[in-house]
Amino acid sequence: MTMIESGKLAERLNAICDAQPFVTRFMVRALGSGETIGRGADEETPSASTRKTSIMMAALKAAHEGRLDLDEQITYEKRFAEEVASGMFRYLTPGIVISLRDAITGMMVLSDNVCTKMVFERLTLEEVDSYCKSIGMTGTNHRFLIPPLALSPDHSLKAVTTTTARDQVYLLQTILDAQDSREAADRLGCSQALCAYALQTLKNQILRYAIPSRLPFGVLVAHKGGTGKRGRMNAGVVYRDGSPFYIIAAFTDEVPQEMPDGTPGYTVALETIGRLSRACWDEFQS
């Protein structure tokens, strides 16, 4: 992977970040040329729900090894909704039965933390953290199943799961490679069929903020976003004419609750990620 720190696109991306008072860390990779641009790409940063892509892959590895059954039926119990602030299930009537496969889908496409609890109860925190380290995500640290709701905006990094932009690009690249490479699938501990399911699940993402927000309508993005107390984040593969075009992982941090003009900080954080993605869309085509 060639890291490019200068040039027209790098200048444009850095200018987008420099325009804001908060921290933005990112890595982007053009899938045609392999050129990569990064800013703080190896710095530890809160992962928020971008962590769920690695949780999904750890669960699929366990399924591949026969330790989990994706067809297992799980009953939604009221306890699953405790300390949950995302998704739809928390508003539904307990007693609904879904498969583990569907719980993974809910965890990913709506970032539903009831579904995340269902998935994580069948794994251990240590298992998921070790999985990340074993496949090369050395900058990712899973510390909690579900982050406490009472976290303050100035919480320490050790209070949450953390990752790096480089790790997220690496994971997405490996999932992408596994569509055609048995070696890449083996690296993830999964079959190619399960890696195809993982990529399709990322493509099924319903939320369209951040990376897709400034792209032409209908552009396919296989991605997972995150909402943290310190910022917003998003990591995904952007497609053009049906083919993978670029990978981008962007993490905002130390985002103020309110900007000087009164705009909520998270709004500008999401817009910043959208601008980074649009710049890549424009420049990688030139």
Cβ-in-10-Å burial (0-12, 13-18, 19+) of 42 comes to middle
Q: Which residue has the tokens 């130390």?
A: 254
pLDDT confidence of residue 146: 75
| Global pTM value | 0.95
pLDDT confidence of residue 162: 97
Whether the Cβ atoms of residue 269 and residue 254 lie closer than 8 Å to each other: no
- In the chain, at which residue ranges do the beta strands (DSSP E only) sit? 2-3, 23-30, 35-39, 45-46, 73-75, 97-99, 162-163, 221-227, 232-240, 243-253
Q: Which residue has the tokens 């493509």?
A: 203
The DSSP letter of residue 254 is: S
Q: Which residue has the tokens 């496969």?
A: 101
Q: Tell me the β-bridge partners of 226.
A: 233
CA 104 to chain centre: 14
pLDDT confidence of residue 286: 66
Closest CA to 284 of 38, 10, 15, 84: 10
Token pair in block for residue 266: 């998270």
Whether the Cβ atoms of residue 276 and residue 212 lie closer than 8 Å to each other: no
223 — phi, psi (to 5°)? Answer: -150, 165
117 — phi, psi (to 5°)? Answer: -60, -40
The sign of the CA dihedral 126, 127, 128, 129 is positive
Q: In what order do the strands lie in the sheet with 221-227?
A: 2-3, 35-39, 23-30, 243-253, 232-240, 221-227
pLDDT confidence of residue 232: 98
pLDDT confidence of residue 159: 85
237-238-241-243 Cα dihedral, nearest 10 degrees:
-20
DSSP-based three-state secondary structure for 245 = strand
Radius of gyration, CA atoms only, the chain: 18
pLDDT confidence of residue 285: 83
Q: What is the mean pLDDT of each run of 10 residues along the chain (286 residues)?
A: 65 98 98 96 97 98 98 97 90 97 97 95 96 98 81 86 98 98 98 98 95 97 96 98 97 97 98 98 88
pLDDT confidence of residue 152: 82
Largest CA distance in the chain: 56
pLDDT confidence of residue 270: 98
pLDDT confidence of residue 73: 98
pLDDT confidence of residue 3: 47
